[in-house]
Amino acid sequence: MKEIRASVRRPEFERPLVTVDLVIFSVQDDALKVLLVLRPQDASDPFPGRWALPGGFVDVTKDRSLQDCAVRKLREKTGVVAPYLEQLGSWGDAVRDPRGWSATHAYFSLIHAPKDGTFKEAAGATESQWIAVGEASRKRLAFDHAQILAAAMGRLRSKVEYTSLPAFLLAEPFTLPQLQRTYEVVLGRSLDKSAFRKRMLDAGFLQEAGMSDGTLGRTAMGYRIRNREQAVSFPRMFRTGE
Amino acid sequence: MKEIRASVRRPEFERPLVTVDLVIFSVQDDALKVLLVLRPQDASDPFPGRWALPGGFVDVTKDRSLQDCAVRKLREKTGVVAPYLEQLGSWGDAVRDPRGWSATHAYFSLIHAPKDGTFKEAAGATESQWIAVGEASRKRLAFDHAQILAAAMGRLRSKVEYTSLPAFLLAEPFTLPQLQRTYEVVLGRSLDKSAFRKRMLDAGFLQEAGMSDGTLGRTAMGYRIRNREQAVSFPRMFRTGE
DNA sequence: ATAATAGTGTCTCTCAGACACTATTAA
DNA sequence: TTAATAGTGTCTGAGAGACACTATTAT
């Protein structure tokens, strides 16, 4: 402690590397997918040719905050500007990056499926791809990204049980049947229609937005999220015991 | 490892300062308190003479990980070795520390009230004190610690509604009436005894540990937490709507 | 016995789930 | 009309809350 005070203005501690990584989820073709990037085949980079979460170093000249950095990287990768973005946690230790002691700040984002199936790349040559979460978990990801991805999936699975989070995986306006399908995809089990509708409508986070043009069968009411800043919590979990 | 380290290019980004801060909660005298430290009256330090959360720089030579760093600082401050410790989040931006772009990693800890009312200080001369959360929120804390404290209180208040977290605020073994009082202190409202007991016992996280020596009235069953690694979730919130 | 605290039984209300029912659309 | 999908009504059961009741201890 005394050393700190002795060193006048700047602390003399060696500074760790500081990065931001993103876990970007989307539901496509009735499957939960995550965006991964392929690290370049360059031996001077760590983990060349391995799949990784999109991310990179905080640039103190460009990023005013960690959140800004995450927003910037999300925009660069996907073009999405107003997503659901939540901090997931940080992972920092001496060995996760061969370049030295590093701390990464993982953010958790939910976006709706892109229209054209995939995103255009920015100037960089990195290849990126939407990969089903089951498959992604089986890959040998770079750094400790497997652990971060597992934590993100745990958080999503847990929050889906009692919050409106999955609504952020849909393009607005969306219908209740679409929302229910999204819940079922993320939960991995089917839900009762009547209970589901009561629950969603009672939670009060939906706003009617005109009839949707159903392509088959009866048309459904379209909804928007009343407040995109945060998800709402339900008074109970989906399945009580078991 | 060493060959990799040597061959890898080191990034040229300027590195932010990296710190860890702790929000340590305890219930004393039927009040929720948080441990704060007084920053030294030294003009070369930022925020001299202000109250702050305990914490400091990550020492890459001593700390193998962020979590290790948090455990070390908690031990230095309180002597507690096996607390409930959970990552709260990270706050990083260009202006929160006058010494430069910095990122802090806040951890959230619950410990039981110390026997002697306060903790002995380590070698350092920093003054530390348990302060009721209401009072702490009114102080002008150093850095962005007011914001971090508010986030910690939000997390605690929210989790108390549906998890066994408050059990970590008690010394083992504890009785159900003690546990209920702890919940009531954190929630700021009273709870029905019958409903409370059914809920706790049904959740299955308690283990009987012999009768406690009640000083007055009927003696109560003592309990220990079955698994201190994590809190359990209840199937419902405490008060459903309102 | 009394005071004080620990612990239980019973009723009611709310709400989730099950499931059968009706409603609206396109072909 | 039929197929397909959207949406509703009704019953039941689990569990939370209210609250009165019993149980055990020290004095």
pLDDT bracket for residue A179 (50, 70, 90): very high
A135-151: average pLDDT: 97
Judged by a CB distance cut-off of 8 A, whether residue B13 touches chain A is yes
CA separation, residue A136 to residues A34, A127, B99, B112 (Å): 8, 15, 41, 41
Distance (Å, rounded) from C-alpha B31 to C-alpha B146? 19
Judged by a CB distance cut-off of 8 A, whether residue A240 touches chain B is yes
Chain B residues in contact with A17 (beta carbon < 8 A):
11, 13, 15
Question: In the structure, how far is the CA atom of residue A78 from the C1' atom of nucleotide C16, in angstroms?
Answer: 38
pLDDT bracket for residue A82 (50, 70, 90): low
Chain A residues in contact with B235 (beta carbon < 8 A):
236-237, 240-241
DSSP single-letter state for residue B112? P
Per-residue pLDDT tens over the stretch B154-203: 999 989 998 999 999 999 999 999 999 999 999 999 999 999 999 999 99
A178-200: average pLDDT: 94
Distance (Å, rounded) from C-alpha A52 to C-alpha B47? 40
Q: Give the contacts of A145 (CB within 8 A, at least 6 positions apart).
A: A21, A52, A53
Of residues B128 and B103, more confidently modeled: B103
* Yes or no, beta carbons of B105 and A103 under 8 Å apart: yes
Measure in Å the smallest separation between the Cα of B215 and chain A Cα atoms: 37
pLDDT of residue A27: 95
**Of A44, A94, A241, which has the smallest distance from its Cβ to B60's Cβ?**
A94
pLDDT of residue B106: 98
Residues of chain A with CATH 1.10.10.10: 161-225
* Yes or no, beta carbons of B90 and A105 under 8 Å apart: yes
Of residues B228 and A237, more confidently modeled: B228
Distance (Å, rounded) from C-alpha B57 to C-alpha B91? 14
Q: Strand D: which nucleotides have any atom within 7 A of a protein Cβ? A: 3-10, 14-20, 23-26
Average pLDDT, chain B: 88
Judged by a CB distance cut-off of 8 A, whether residue A3 touches chain B is no
pLDDT at A169 exceeding the cut of 70: yes
A34-54: average pLDDT: 91
**How many other C-beta atoms lie within 10 A of the C-beta of residue B105?**
27
pLDDT bracket for residue A125 (50, 70, 90): very low
Quote the distance between the C-alpha of residue A55 and its chain's center: 12
Question: In the structure, how far is the CA atom of residue B173 from the C1' atom of nucleotide C6, in angstroms?
Answer: 16
What is A17-158's CATH number? 3.90.79.10
Q: Which amino acid is at A166?
A: P
Distance (Å, rounded) from C-alpha A173 to C-alpha A171? 6
Distance (Å, rounded) from C-alpha B32 to C-alpha B135? 10
Distance (Å, rounded) from C-alpha A57 to C-alpha B13? 7
pLDDT at A8 exceeding the cut of 60: no
pLDDT of residue A2: 38
By DSSP bridging, strand B102-110 and strand B84-93 are antiparallel
pLDDT of residue B210: 85
Average pLDDT, chain A: 88
B7-34: average pLDDT: 88
Of A67-71, A126-130, A150-154, A180-184, least confident by mean pLDDT is A126-130
Question: In the structure, how far is the CA atom of residue B198 from the C1' atom of nucleotide D17, in angstroms?
Answer: 11
pLDDT bracket for residue A119 (50, 70, 90): low
Distance (Å, rounded) from C-alpha B155 to C-alpha B158? 5
Distance (Å, rounded) from C-alpha A35 to C-alpha A53? 7
Of residues A27 and B234, more confidently modeled: A27
**Torsion angle of alpha carbons B56, B153, A25, A114, nearest 10°?**
-110
Distance (Å, rounded) from C-alpha B222 to C-alpha B211? 5
* Yes or no, beta carbons of A57 and B11 under 8 Å apart: yes
Quote the distance between the C-alpha of residue A106 and its chain's center: 9
pLDDT bracket for residue A7 (50, 70, 90): very low
Chain A residues in contact with B62 (beta carbon < 8 A):
none
pLDDT of residue B242: 30
**How many other C-beta atoms lie within 10 A of the C-beta of residue B225?**
21
Distance (Å, rounded) from C-alpha B67 to C-alpha B78? 16
Let me know: does B139 contact B86? Beta carbons within 8 Å: no
pLDDT at B36 exceeding the cut of 60: yes
A115-137: average pLDDT: 72
Of A4-13, B11-20, B59-68, least confident by mean pLDDT is A4-13
pLDDT bracket for residue A114 (50, 70, 90): confident
User: What's the number of CA atoms in the CB half-sphere (13 Å) around residue A113?
Assistant: 15
Distance (Å, rounded) from C-alpha B85 to C-alpha B71? 8
The chain A residue lying nearest B4, using CA atoms, is: A98
What is A161-225's CATH number? 1.10.10.10
pLDDT at B142 exceeding the cut of 70: yes
A58-80: average pLDDT: 93
pLDDT at B141 exceeding the cut of 70: yes
pLDDT at B70 exceeding the cut of 80: yes
Tokens representing B28 are 């004393």
Nearest Cα neighbor of A236 from A166, A187, A163 is A163
Residues 88-117 of A with CB under 8 A from B: 89-95, 98-101, 103, 105
Tokens representing A242 are 């078991």
Residues of chain B with CATH 3.90.79.10: 17-158
B100-125: average pLDDT: 76
pLDDT of residue A5: 41
Q: What distance, in Å, lies between the first and last C-alpha atoms of chain B?
A: 57
pLDDT of residue B12: 73
**Residue ranges near strand D (C-beta within 7 Å):** A 175-178, 193-194, 197, 214, 216-221, 240-241; B 191-196, 198-199, 202, 211, 214, 216-219, 234-236, 238-240
- Show the beta-strand stretches assigned E in A39-146: 51-52, 55-57, 84-93, 102-110, 127-132
Chain A with chain B: Cβ pairs closer than 8 A: 138
The reply to whether A241 Cβ lies less than 7 angstroms from strand C is no
Of A117-121, A188-192, B103-107, B170-174, least confident by mean pLDDT is A117-121
